[in-house]
Amino acid sequence: MQGFFQLISTADFLGLLERFQPLAAEQLPLVRGLGRVLAGDITVPEPLPPFARATMDGFAVRARDTFGCSDSEPALLTIAGEIAMGSPASELALQPGQTAAIWTGGALPVLADSVVMVEFTHRLDDLTVEIQRPVAPGDNVIRRGEDYELGAVVLRRGHKLRPQDLGVLAGIGITRATVHRRPRVAIISTGDELVPPDQKPAPGKIRDINSTTLAALVEECGGEPLALGITSDSVEELTKGCRRALALPADVVLLSGGSSVGRRDFTLEVFKRLEQTEVLAHGVSIRPGKPTILARRENVAFFGLPGHVGSAIVVFHLLVRPLLSRLAGTTAIPGLRRIIAVASEQIPSVIGREDYVRVALHQGNIHRRIIATPVYGKSGLLNPLVRSDGLLVIHRDTEGLDQGEEAEVLLFP
């Protein structure tokens, strides 16, 4: 029986992903930009704010007119007008001893340099206001360009756009963004025993779980899933499926179902048959996920994933997700959010292999620490998937964790 191969570490595997380059750029309206990654720096086309603005409701003044005033000796200023929201600053120029009522966000009148908060004023009549506190020039005002000077870099290439970033872009008048294309990910399940989820399986058959799961994982991390369905256990059929994926064109092809030794060999055979395709890795020293295969044809990545969905999910989070982040152009550290938790019981492992143990999390009473309880179950079961919150990491250099020992947990999104 064949099937031996050279295991590599996850670090080495992630190193191989650097051979793939970020996808081409495309222009998008801002309203479709959430979660997309900038393909270039964005600089400010005009100073922001474009004019000096009040940051408080109150009275715009020339600061020197308020110097020395107090509750008992207020400065008396003449109300020259009220700054209507949205009216230009040039409509009013303050002479010495004059002031103007202003609202938060209003444009400062010409020659005004500060705003006295309404709380420290007392309006005597339509034309006169008492100022009870002095202000310094610039108080309660944002000057022109104080937020962003002309030409300042707002966001850099590789930044993933969040709601607040989109808001700032709208504010500087950038309504289209140049972002990397989303990775298109073809998904093929292989197995003579598989039927689509909407069919009742004949005796000995089961429903295809991986296509649905992988498509949702791809969607969740911002890729575009292209489900190509089920192929039978045949090198010819699977090769045809891969060619179909290339023609879409797909940027990544996920094959799953080749976890048994025989099938693993034939996934490898398929990758070897495809023209200009190089097998980069065949076996990773993790559990679950050991039989993972990675191949490359120009900038297209082929993954051979384990057949069991629980293992395929682990490999997706650890090895596929970082590639999708790279293709999408993000410069942030990819991967799941990590927290430190405490093992609820002893968790054995083996030196030389990274273990990813499904765990359920809860917050304990002592120091509000997060407790990680292993969700064991035979490798073919689905119910542990539903009951777990993340993957506890046991590193290569340890035989496992003691009860109460700290370890990193990768949180399912």
Site for a copy of itself in 71-90 (CB under 8 A): 84-90
Nearer to a copy of itself, 256 or 277 (CB): 256
**335 counts as binding a copy of itself under rule CB under 8 A:** no
Question: Which among 227, 229, 164 has a CA at the least distance from the CA of 190?
Answer: 229
232: left (phi over 0), alpha (psi -120 to 50) or beta: beta
Q: Which CB, 194 or 407, lies closer to a copy of itself? A: 194
207 membership: H or E segment, kind and range: strand 206-207
Q: Which residue in the set 14, 25, 145, 233 belongs to the binding site for a copy of itself (CB under 8 A)?
A: 233
- Residue 161, both tokens: 């756009």
Provide the residue count of the chain. Answer: 413
Taking alpha carbons only, the member of 23, 56, 51 closest to residue 38 is 23
Q: Encoding tokens for residue 64?
A: 């020197």
Cα gap 114→358, rounded to integer Å: 59
Q: Report if residue 162 touches a copy of itself, rule: CB under 8 A.
A: yes
Q: Which of 380, 397, 399, 402 binds a copy of itself (CB under 8 A)?
A: 380
Q: Among 158, 159, 180, 168, which Cα is nearest to 44's?
A: 168
- Kindly state whether residue 93 participates in binding a copy of itself, applying the rule CB under 8 A: no
Residues between 35 and 74 with contacts to a copy of itself, criterion CB under 8 A:
35, 48-51, 53, 55, 57
Nearer to a copy of itself, 280 or 401 (CB): 401
**Residue of the chain from 2, 27, 68, 203 that contacts a copy of itself (CB under 8 A):** 203
Contact range with a copy of itself by CB under 8 A, out of 100-108, 280-288, 319-327, 397-405: 100-108
Shortest reach from residue 200's CB to a copy of itself, in Å:
7
Site membership for a copy of itself, residue 105 (CB under 8 A): yes
Closest CA to 363 of 341, 347, 346: 341
Residue 217: its H or E element: helix 210-220
Closer CB to a copy of itself, residue 214 or residue 409? 214
Residue that has been written with the tokens 């200009």 in this structure: 276
Near a copy of itself by CB under 8 A: residue from 100, 112, 131, 217: 217
At 313, list the tokens: 């999910």
Judged by CB under 8 A, the residue of 98, 213, 231, 285 near a copy of itself is 213
How big is the site for a copy of itself, counted in residues (CB under 8 A)? 97
The answer to the question of residue 177 lying near a copy of itself (CB under 8 A) is no
Q: How far is the CB of 163 from a copy of itself (least distance, A)?
A: 4
Q: Which of these ranges, 155-163, 271-279, 324-332, 344-352, lies near a copy of itself under the rule CB under 8 A?
A: 155-163
- Judged by CB under 8 A, the residue of 16, 28, 146, 274 near a copy of itself is 146
Angle at 241 between CA 235 and CA 244, to 5 degrees: 140
CA atoms within a 13 Å half-sphere pointing along the CA-CB vector of 45: 8
Q: Which of residues 255-314 bind a copy of itself (CB under 8 A)?
A: 259-263, 307-309, 313
Gap between the Cα atoms of 9 and 310, Å rounded: 20
Q: Which residue, among 363, 361, 356, has the nearest Cα to 372 in the 3D structure?
A: 361
- The answer to the question of residue 5 lying near a copy of itself (CB under 8 A) is no
Q: Give the residues across from 254 on adjacent strands.
A: 187, 303
Out of 28, 81, 133, 147, name the contact with a copy of itself by CB under 8 A: 147
Distance of closest approach, residue 378 Cβ to a copy of itself, in angstroms: 5
Q: Are residues 95 and 108 in contact, defined by beta-carbon separation less than 8 angstroms?
A: no
